[in-house]
Structure 1
C-alpha cells in the first residue's frame, strides 16, 4: 500500500532523513520507534506532503505521491494525526470533528460525524464543549476522530502517547487497535517503544535519520539493543544484575 524507497529529506544543510526505505501493506499496523530527534516526524511529514523529499520515492497504492500537496494526499486516502494533537481550542468538539472533512460535502460530513461520535462516546457527550477544555487523552481521541472524517485508507499517527498518563495511553492504543482490526491501515511513530510494539504487527527502528533495525514486533521486543535503548530504566536495572 505504502512504499518508501531510499528517501532523504533535508532542512537546508541539515539532513534529517537519509536513505530510508520501508513499506506498509494493506491492513497492517506498523510502528516506527526512535528517540527524540531521530527523524520520525520528518518522515511522516514527507509522506503527507508537508516536507518535500530531497531524494527517493514515495508510492501509495502504486502511485507516486512524492510531489503531492497535503490536500491531494488527503484526497488519495492519507490522514495525519499530528504530534501534540493540535486541536482548535476555541472551537467546539463537534466543529473540530467537522474540520477533518474539508474535502467532503456538508451532508457527507454530518453523516460521517454521527458515525464517528458513536465510536467515541466521550466526544459525543462533550460535542458542544470547547476543545481546549478537554483532557489530553480526550484531545487525542478528538484528533483521531477528526482525521477519520476524511475516510482515510491509511492513518499516520505521530507520538500519540506524548504527555498522557499510562492508563490514558492504554485507552488510546486500544482504540487504534480496534480501528486496525476494522481494516484501517496504520503507520505510527513513537518514542514509547513498549506500547508501540505491543499493539503493532511489525516495527522499524530509526536512529539519526536511518533505519537500523526492522522485524516483527515480537522480534524487536526481544532484541537486546532495542531493550537497552528504548525499553527504559526497569529493563536496564535487570540487564545490569
Structure 2
C-alpha cells in the first residue's frame, strides 16, 4: 500500500517546541498551580514543579511552537528533489502561515501529512495551539467526527510498529538502524529550550527542524525500498 502513494501528495513536517515562558516565575499563580497539578505524576517526588518547568514544551497547554518545518517531493522527468521550508517567529503568525500552506497547496482528499510520532505529538500539538490562538482548524487537522480511515495522517513511528502498539522507536534510533544520516548531529529535542531562550539562536533550531523533516522523508523512502535522498536533492527554500 505504501508503494502506491504518490510522494508528491505527501507533506512531511516536524515541529520544535519550548516552554511558553522562559522561567517558571513568569507564570501566573493559577498557571503555576495548574502546571504542578498536571505534572505531579511525571515528577513524583524527584522534582519540584519549578525544577520540572524546563520540560513544559512537551505539553501544548504549557508550551509553544517556535518552528514548523515542512518538506515535499517534486519530480521533473528523471530529476527528483525534496524542498524544505520553515515557519518561525511569533507563534500565531507561524501557525497562520502553516495553515495557509495546507489550505492552498495540500487541501485535496489525496493529500497526506507525515511526521514521526505525528499522531501522538506534532498533529495534536499544532491543532491545540491553533485553538488556543482562536485559529480555525484547517481540514487536515480537524478530526472532529472523522472516521479513522478519513484521517489523512501518516506516521513513520506507526508504520515501524507494524501493529505492535507497545513499541516506541525514536527518530534517532530509527534513522540509525536504517542507515539514514542522523538529523541529531548538532542538537536534540532536549536542547531546543536552551538554544531558544539562552542563546537566542532560532536559525540553529530551524536547521535542526528541517533535518528532522528530511529524515522522516528518508524513512518513507527506506520503507518503500527506494534510494535515499542525496544532499544535492535537498533544497531549502
Which TM-score applies when normalising by structure 2? 0.27
* Larger helix share, 1 or 2: 2
Which TM-score applies when normalising by structure 1? 0.27
* Larger strand share, 1 or 2: 1
